[in-house]
Structure 1
């Protein structure tokens, strides 16, 4: 799968489902209604990974920009509108998409910090801001990213008449981007606002039962028996050898492309320009490196020899994903439940202190929630297949035995 195929998935030329088309109409009506309001207005789309949120946004923004640039009768004619996403890899795809559409310009797509800082400097306001992956918006000062205010959503609301958000609380991964329903409500409750929930899973061709099993694993910390239809229309496998899993992913990559190995935290990792390796028995591969190119990490051929992290794969589809559940997650010795080992977490950037969080118990709870969110996100990358390997020997044994119980274990040795 090439960059063009990633763009095709988001292309406004593709048809929407009737639900998605109705939602685009609803948000367009909301936007035109509130363009001249005395306060900003907020429309929030809530949905899990793979429910088509970004597809809706692309169609919506293309429609808004067509009215802005070509429809003198529209209330949106000659308005100033921007599409923001706080993820450099995803921004690359949107800008590439803009280059292929006559109504979209690359400059329409911005990082939130860049847009906020520029509008502050110019003392200007815009009409509409669309925010993809709003769960990545900073909710505290971050000097590293040149953001000197308290909250990016609050700052966007000061500078736009209408803000349209896509939010997935199960993709909150860092303290500096801490979002919960309560925290969002606190900010938008005083403004006109509407919300819509998308629930249908589009990304994975997996059965609803397998998706439910994955959610139970990450949300309830529980290892249920695998559903009998776990492999129905979907290549789901559990490996007890990480190197065998890697070789299978390499084969899938040769056959259909866009297949990669991904891992949770728990292995040495520092953004210092050097290579840091994940080792599991015969398996030894380096973490992904910072990607300076315009091509998303997963679409660079050489990254078949790297292990992707949550930061390079979030928001992207893979055809096949080989997932390493690292040392940060293990099975409790006395039950079929998971434990989160905070002392094994190796992503030092994720859990920086916040002035508004002081209760140690709440902080630990949030850390565990974010670690399991990260696992949930990487478990849902594979469109056609997901292969699993666990570092923890007990968890590995339990998962392998659940897989073997269906007579599927011979699959992993071919």
Structure 2
């Protein structure tokens, strides 16, 4: 029991408002509060957009900001007194973390942490509005109707703007993962054009204790798809390894999980995966583990001890810190013919739910590029989960040989 508590503390401590933010983060928090107070009584809604790459502390800023807003809303003689505010996140696993945290803090109530569809439907039913909405992972907001999830509007951000006075949103176009939540910076700017807005940006990498050269390697891998040389510096203060055996990687992850906790195997799409309640396995040589299952508990997937025997996906890992992550680059990630870049084979996508056709995207070239971009985004998200270490195994034999060869050269 003590072991589980320690792991939970590791997973949620970064979001605790009692953790002192950095100087840059505090400046951003103060700027956000000033923006909220300035526009709280405007006749039209105002929006503050916070951008930044994975691991730059966006969620930390939002958590601290919301705590301060709620604290002031319960005290008299300030501009936020009596305000009705919500923290909004369209990620069920991340929502569990925030709600668990809320139960431990004064002036923070679980009811103030909502998924967007639930809040939109509640406000519309009551013909009501709220004052301040803080939206984590706004790139996960639906940008089209989704009747399966009981959202009947055209766009969740527009629906929230109709019922809020001020929104503070975190946005990272490199973490957009589904066509039904398809956002680009250009699309967001176009949607927000009629509203008062301010944009702020975070740059410092807080999650990964990694050398900037490794971050740059990942950014090229998942951006322009170029394979840069693997350098010795990748191992500076960080455990970076390339494996040519998936089972050997799993064993290393298990060892790290026993040592420090929060070490997990994750994978891209490309392997059999259907939400039918059954087990669907990823098999690579002697390696064989099932995909993560839908998590009905109140404990986030990464904090459940038994999930060391599952393979996580972007749906269970996005927004979370792991100590060590072992990523399997599935069948859709291949080495180009010239050996200098990677290519994404969209015909090998098995996550069909995420790539259902949109009515407003009729150009086949646009759809194809979107699929490539979304899969590169998923790799970016998964590669940047690990605080202390990143391990990689590639299904494609040519890519696996190239990466392993480059890695071995870097060790000499």
Q: Would the TM-score normalized by the shorter structure come out above 0.5?
A: yes
Where in structure 2 are the equivalents of 1:325-344 lying within 5 Å? 325-344=329-348
Residues in 1 aligned to 2:91 and 2:33: alpha-carbon distance in whole angstroms:
25
CA distance in 2, matches of 1:6, 1:231: 24
Aligned to 1:23: 28
How far apart are residue 63 of structure 1 and its match? Answer: 0.6
Secondary structure, in 3 states, of the residue corresponding to 1:272?
coil
Match of 1:279 in 2: 283
Superposed CA deviations along residues 357-387 of structure 1, whole A, max 9, x for unmatched, are: 1000011001100000000100000100000
Paired residues, number: 407
Q: Answer yes or no: is 1:346 the counterpart of 2:350.
A: yes
1:55-94 to 2 correspondence within 5 Å? 55-70=60-75, 72-94=76-98
User: Is 2:382 aligned against 1:383?
Assistant: no
1:54 aligned residue: 59
Partners of 1:368 and 1:356 in 2: CA distance = 18
Unaligned runs of 5+ in 2: 1-5
In the superposition, the TM-score normalised over structure 1's length comes to: 0.97
Q: Does 1:217 align with 2:221?
A: yes
Q: Does 1:364 align with 2:373?
A: no
- Which residue of the partner structure matches residue 12 of structure 1? 17
Structure 1 gaps of 5+ residues are: 409-414
Alignment partner for residue 45 of structure 2, among 23, 40, 45?
40
The aligned runs of 1:80-159 (5 Å cut-off) are 80-159=84-163
2:89–2:116 contact (8 Å) kept in structure 1: yes
CA distance in 2 between partners of 1:40 and 1:23 (Å): 20
The equivalent of 1:313 in structure 2 is 317
Other structure's SS at 2:82 match: coil
Contact 1:3/1:296 (<8 A) preserved: no
Alpha-carbon displacement from aligned partner over 1:373-403 (angstroms, at most 9, x marks no partner): 0001000001000000000000000000000
Work out the CA distance in 1 between the residues paired with 2:10 and 2:310.
Answer: 22
1:243-267 Cα offsets, whole Å, 9 max, x none, are 0000010000111111000000000
**Among residues 296, 301, 318, which one is paired with 2:305 in the alignment?**
301
Supply the distance in 2 between the matched residues of 1:327 and 1:387 (Cα, whole angstroms).
Answer: 17
Once the two structures are overlaid, the 10-residue window that deviates more, 2-11 or 47-56, is 2-11
Which digits, 9 at most, give the CA deviation of each residue in 1:254-282, with x for residues without a partner? 11111000000000000000000001011
SS of corresponding position for 1:311: helix
Please name the residue that 1:412 is paired with: none
Contact 2:231 2:410 in 1 (8 A): no
CA contact (8 A) 1:3 1:93 kept: no
Q: Give the CA deviation at 1:169.
A: 0.4
**Which residue in 2 is equivalent to 1:411?**
none
Q: How many angstroms does 1:103 deviate by?
A: 1.5
Q: Distance in 1 between matches of 2:16 and 2:302?
A: 19
SS in structure 1 at match of 2:199 = strand
Question: CA shift at 1:38, angstroms?
Answer: 1.1
For residue 188 of structure 1, the aligned residue among 192, 195, 209 is 192
Aligned counterparts of 1:388 and 1:181: Cα–Cα separation in 2: 30
Shift of 1:61: 0.5
Which string of whole-angstrom CA distances, capped at 9 and with x for unpartnered residues, describes residues 284-323 of structure 1? 1100000011111011011010000110010001111111
Work out the CA distance in 2 between the residues paired with 1:406 and 1:106: 49
Aligned counterparts of 1:407 and 1:78: Cα–Cα separation in 2: 60
Does the alignment pair 1:3 with 2:8? yes
Q: 2:57 touches 2:205 (CA, 8 Å); kept in 1?
A: yes
Residue among 250, 258, 273 paired with 2:254: 250
Partners of 1:280 and 1:204 lie apart in 2 by: 27
After TM superposition, give the deviation of residue 227 of structure 1 in Å: 2.2
Runs of 4+ in 1 over 3 A off after TM superposition: none
Do 2:51 and 2:199's aligned partners in 1 also have CA atoms closer than 8 Å? yes
SS in 2 for 1:92: helix
Shift of 1:4: 2.4
Deviation of residue 356 (structure 1)? 1.1
